[in-house]
Chains A and B, each alone.
Chain A
Amino acid sequence: MSVAVSAPSATLPRLLDGVPAEGAMTLDVHLAVHGVAPWVGGSRRASAARSPMIDEVARAGLCGRGGGGFPTAIKMRAVADAGGAGSRAPSWWAPGRRPIVVVNAAEGEPASLKDRTLLEALPHLVLDGAALSAEAVGADEAIVCVCSLSVDAQESVERAIVERGGQDRVRFSIADLPARYVAGQESALVRFLSGGPALPIFTPPMPFERGVRQRPTLVNNPETLAHVALIARYGAGWFRQLGTASQPGSALVTLGGAVAGPGVYEIEHGASLASLIDAAGGATEELRAVLIGGYAGAWVDARHLPALALADEQLAPYGARLGTGVVVLLGESGCGPAETARVTRWLARESAGQCGPCVHGLGAIATCLEGAVAGVPEGGSQRIAHLLSIVSRRGACSHPDGTARFVESAVEVFAEELAEHARNGPCLACATANMLPLPASRRGGPR
């Protein structure tokens, strides 16, 4: 039963309320700003499937913030049911069905910074959410998974766990993930935590049924859990006071590219993109296009900017989704095709290397794009259209689908530039195209 603390005002900031300019918010400050988290309470035998926590999250309409957008309450209920939580306490002959919670802070998307920022600045919000979810599904263990390169985030979480001093009914641990794009994919993460390689598996079985060490596993993005932590305190009604009917609440977005103040911002779902850009100090030059949703997202022509709102329903007509909340602005001085070609080659190298259509298809698409940018198109537009049509839904994970969506939108939005390049070869901006961030130290590639 959530005990409502004096509800805060129904405006932003919510997650970023009181966020420190540097370092992490300590436990005292966290408790001062947000109050004590109400625990689900009751013994472990209480049936988690009817947990009031999950009901509250369902009423709030919270959806996953890791790119998938799956309704969080449905996931929690599935894990709780799979664990048979409460109806049968685990015993020596059937020990393995106790659920386990995994915080997926891999953040493989290079242009996204929100998960790292949350862990570095507001670890207690995330840990609260993890502890609450664990209680709700009947788990007693939570693993926080951080990319091995995000040293600051790891240290922050470690310190925060120590600060909490075992007050939670959950055992926290931290796992070091390899720096690969696919390592953050749900089944890859679960496989890695079970001792295997960080590569996706063919599903079924889904992680909520059989995940880490064959136990029902609840995998959540850190931002999702941060929202859970606040919903538990202030209720579903409060959560729904912001946002749209179909996509309530607030969200973190990572704004980058041709903008004065790049960084992580908290927005209300449905807020206009123009207002976000203004809040960030405005664009640094005339804009050509906007990339929404990261490298598995879509380009949108900048002339639509006035109509663009940060909610899936409003973005759908332009072929985009909020996804991981990445928004990158491409200025007129940049070269869309060159940026896209660069990133596509990286995406092709980051393939897990397990599925033929992905390994061959993404490589062929990247080659086509590079050729198109260099002015020697390989097979023309039909070739790339054909390739795009045969890579989707033919891999074990959605990596090829995301790349196909990204490239398809580029081909459509940058049609003019591509025709230019076909006639005259590389443009001036091609050589300096490095606006879309790519990890320097990661060496992906199929083995």
Chain B
Amino acid sequence: MSRHAALTREHLRVNPIACEAHGMCAELLPEQIALDEWGYPLVGDEPVAFELLELARQAVRACPTRALLLERRETR
């Protein structure tokens, strides 16, 4: 049984209970976060592009309720 090394990428995830639609994440990372008509974030499943990682981290820090998360997931 062999196991090849899996590539991990960072993904954005929103904690919908903590989110209060402040909207700072979408301002800082408009490339990957949009807002719906009520101000809540629409975050895709795709991994964060490498060049945007630092911005993504800023967006995570900027969220007043710590609702935006960066998760490391394996992509195959």
Contact = CB atoms under 8 A, between A and B. Distances in A.
Interface stretch (B1-9, B10-18, B52-60): B10-18
A358 B16 CA distance: 9
A76 B18 CA distance: 30
B51 interface: no
Contacts of A357: 16, 36, 38, 40
A394 B17 contact: no
Interface string B34-62: 00101110100000000000000000000
Range for the number of chain A residues in contact with chain B? 10 to 19
A179 B16 CA distance: 24
A354 interface: yes
Nearest to B20: A356
Contacts of A360: 38, 40
B16 A355 contact: yes
Interface string A409-437: 00000000000000000000000000000
B17 A201 contact: yes
B29 interface: no
A354 B17 contact: yes
B24 interface: no
Contacts of B39: 356
B18 A356 contact: no
Nearest to B42: A390
B21 interface: yes
A200 B15 CA distance: 12
Contacts of A396: 15-17
Contacts of A395: 16
B17 A355 contact: yes
Nearest to A356: B40
A361 B36 CA distance: 10
Nearest to A394: B16
Interface string A352-376: 0011111011000000000000000
Interface in A197-241: 200-202
B19 interface: yes
The 6 closest A-B CB pairs, nearest first, are: A355-B16, A356-B40, A360-B38, A354-B17, A202-B15, A396-B17
Interface of B: 14-21, 36, 38-40, 42
30 contacts: A200-B17, A201-B17, A202-B15, A202-B17, A354-B16, A354-B17, A355-B16, A355-B17, A355-B19, A356-B16, A356-B19, A356-B20, A356-B21, A356-B38, A356-B39, A356-B40, A357-B16, A357-B36, A357-B38, A358-B16, A360-B38, A360-B40, A361-B38, A390-B36, A390-B42, A394-B16, A394-B40, A395-B16, A396-B15, A396-B17
